[in-house]
């Protein structure tokens, strides 16, 4: 007894036809696997692009903080900061001349229980002489 496969119309499929169908199915499976790999690679690239975009935005914000002409930079006197009480969770007080940059205004604008970071450079000997 010989079993034969039939196509959609019910006609018998010869060996060459079966091989052709198997090759087409195999190519389809290969294409699906290639698509999945390409999709995974694209997701990795997209994730890296988003990370790069976030890093660029962070760098831009840091650069804005260094430019006193930028409209987002607020300047004020250390004895009368233009912020309400408890405005900041973290205060980074910086003094490039090595003096204590913290005072009552620093404490006033910092949130209760907040974080205070103090940075001071070594005193420049050339500046100290003047």
Q: How many domains does the chain contain in total?
A: 2
pLDDT (average), residues 87-98: 78
**Residue 82 belongs to some domain of the structure:** no
**Residue 41 belongs to some domain of the structure:** yes
Query: What is the domain range of residue 122?
Result: 88-128
Alpha carbons 75 and 85: distance in angstroms, whole number: 17
**Residue 116 belongs to some domain of the structure:** yes
Q: pLDDT value at position 31?
A: 92
| 27 and 58 belong to one structural domain | yes
**Residue 3 belongs to some domain of the structure:** no
| 69 and 92 belong to one structural domain | no
Tell me how many degrees the CA angle 113-117-121 measures, rounded to the nearest 5: 160
| 60 and 103 belong to one structural domain | no
| 61 and 105 belong to one structural domain | no
pLDDT, one tens digit per residue, over 19-58 is: 887 888 899 999 999 999 988 888 888 888 888 887 777 7
Closest CA to 106 of 72, 70, 68, 77: 77
Alpha carbons 22 and 5: distance in angstroms, whole number: 13
Judged against a pLDDT cut of 50, whether residue 128 lies above it is answered with: no
Alpha carbons 26 and 127: distance in angstroms, whole number: 78
**Residue 21 belongs to some domain of the structure:** yes
Alpha carbons 20 and 114: distance in angstroms, whole number: 72
| 101 and 62 belong to one structural domain | no
| 67 and 119 belong to one structural domain | no
């Amino acid at each position: 007894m010989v079993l034969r496969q039939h196509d959609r119309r019910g006609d018998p499929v010869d060996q060459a036809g079966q091989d052709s169908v198997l090759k087409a199915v195999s190519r389809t499976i290969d294409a699906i696997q290639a698509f999945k790999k390409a999709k995974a690679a694209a997701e990795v690239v997209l994730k890296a692009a988003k990370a790069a975009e976030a890093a660029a935005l962070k760098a831009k914000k840091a650069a804005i903080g260094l430019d006193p002409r930028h409209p987002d930079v607020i300047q004020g006197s250390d004895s009368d900061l233009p912020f309400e009480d408890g405005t900041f969770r973290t205060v980074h007080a910086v003094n490039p001349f090595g003096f204590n940059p913290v005072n009552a205004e620093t404490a006033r604008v910092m949130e209760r229980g907040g974080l205070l970071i103090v940075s001071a450079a070594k005193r420049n000997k050339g500046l100290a002489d003047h």
